[in-house]
Chain A
């Protein structure tokens, strides 16, 4: 097993999990998928492992999205399960806040086009412009433009939902 891959695993695993988490919104699932990616890398021994790993991670997340509807139904059922309820009211508040915050960011991300979202998340995962370009098929010069648009849209969408939220509460 290549030392190179092991090194990459050490340096990139957390990033891959973060990248996947923002696509699947489930920490355990993100870990599972990240490990799956590295296990596949061991079998494939890709030439450019870093780019390969993010490409496969993106694909896995996409496959995951197809099953999302099914899982959402499952999650709804889980929420009604008293066993999963938090132990204290304070913890419950935090959980709700976390959920709301996450939902808002998720919502804001959803307003982006798929390409904009992909580029933004790849950038946030720590990929360089050339790496993002290679993975998305964009020209390196277009990555900056895409990122500029994606950032603006994300913040706009988030602020809009914040305002809407405040308006609803006042």
Chain B
């Protein structure tokens, strides 16, 4: 006769067996003295263990109210985003430096597109004249003529213009960018109230801003999935291009194959205007940017409250990042880029 194994008796006493197993064991116990003794021993052992562990239990446990836990969780979430933004600020230095190097490196193509001219209140001699570049045609494959915004000619001492340079072409400096880099931040940040620009007196600061819900931000064409910025997306933050240090209003993604997602992040500038960063495969981003530029209706225009907006695209191999926002804010952002890293400009 097969006796009941020890572990089965433990499981039996722990009520971890199925009903049919229990029936079988009980039937055996009824006619096997040896197993009954064994069962009693194990029961005693089991009780002693429980008693021993119970003796060293903690003092009586009174759980704190669940609400206090909720409050703590909420406070932590708040701190988490603060830290995240602080981290983003730290990361921004690196990102900005990298951008500066990247944009000035001749291997990469820098394309600056202006919606209209920015008119600084303090006229200064332009360091890089952009007049010849303005005439240069863009490569049709990348930037169809239909998508090009016509720069408004203005009799201003300095004009921000669209600059385009084919990859590999010998050019000492990306003209469009050079203009931005040479711009005095003070000049840019003052804005031009005469043109009705709502750019804040304080320039784009990469600081800890509290996100304010703004009105409906115009959507992009195509199907987008909104990502809730939570811990999970925060962990993927490296994949999502955005302007570090600015509060995120909306994060969207258009899924693609093999991690080739297109992401669009809307962030709020201190002035309340929106800056949008689109990143992903160059072809898809290029199409999106063109669509956006071509759609001239107010409803799809990105720059809320200002007709002056500009798109800057960075391209590396098959990836492209496009930043669209109020031109002066972008100009200032770009100014910061090289001001932070003057040595490695070219």
Interface residues, chain A, CB within 8 Å of chain B? Answer: 1, 6, 9-10, 13-14, 17-18, 21-22, 27, 30-31, 35, 38-39, 42-44, 101-102, 105-106, 108, 120-121, 123-124, 128-129, 143-145, 147-148, 151-152, 154-155, 158
Given contacts A43-B73, A144-B7, contact A18 B50 (CB under 8 A): no
Which of B9-17, B177-185, B304-312 contacts the other chain?
Answer: B9-17
Chain A CB within 10 A, most for which of B11, B63, B70: B63
Q: Is B46 an interface residue (CB 8 A)?
A: yes
B9 to chain A: which residues have CB within 8 Å? 148
Given contacts A39-B76, A143-B16, A144-B16, contact A154 B49 (CB under 8 A): yes
Are the CB atoms of A106 and B56 closer together than 8 Å?
yes
B238 to chain A: which residues have CB within 8 Å? none
Instruction: Pick from A27, A43, A101, A144: contact of B59, CB below 8 A.
Output: A27
Instruction: Pick from B10, B48, B63: contact of A9, CB below 8 A.
Output: B63
Q: Which of B44-70 contact A (CB under 8 A)?
A: 45-46, 48-50, 52-53, 55-59, 61, 63-64, 66, 69-70
B56 to chain A: which residues have CB within 8 Å? 22, 101-102, 105-106
B61 to chain A: which residues have CB within 8 Å? 13-14, 17-18, 31
With CB as the reference atom, state the residue of chain B lying closest to A14: B61
Are the CB atoms of A39 and B69 closer together than 8 Å?
yes
A144 to chain B: which residues have CB within 8 Å? 7-8, 10-11, 14, 16
Interface residues, chain B, CB within 8 Å of chain A? Answer: 6-11, 14, 16, 42, 45-46, 48-50, 52-53, 55-59, 61, 63-64, 66, 69-70, 72-73, 76-77, 231
Are the CB atoms of A18 and B11 closer together than 8 Å?
no
Task: Report the minimum CB–CB distance from A49 to chain B (whole Å).
Answer: 14
Are the CB atoms of A129 and B11 closer together than 8 Å?
yes
Task: Report the minimum CB–CB distance from B48 to chain A (whole Å).
Answer: 6
Are the CB atoms of B66 and A10 closer together than 8 Å?
yes
How far is it, in angstroms, between the C-alpha of A168 and the C-alpha of B42 when the chains are bound?
A: 30
Given contacts A129-B14, A143-B11, A144-B16, contact A18 B66 (CB under 8 A): no
Are the CB atoms of A155 and B45 closer together than 8 Å?
yes
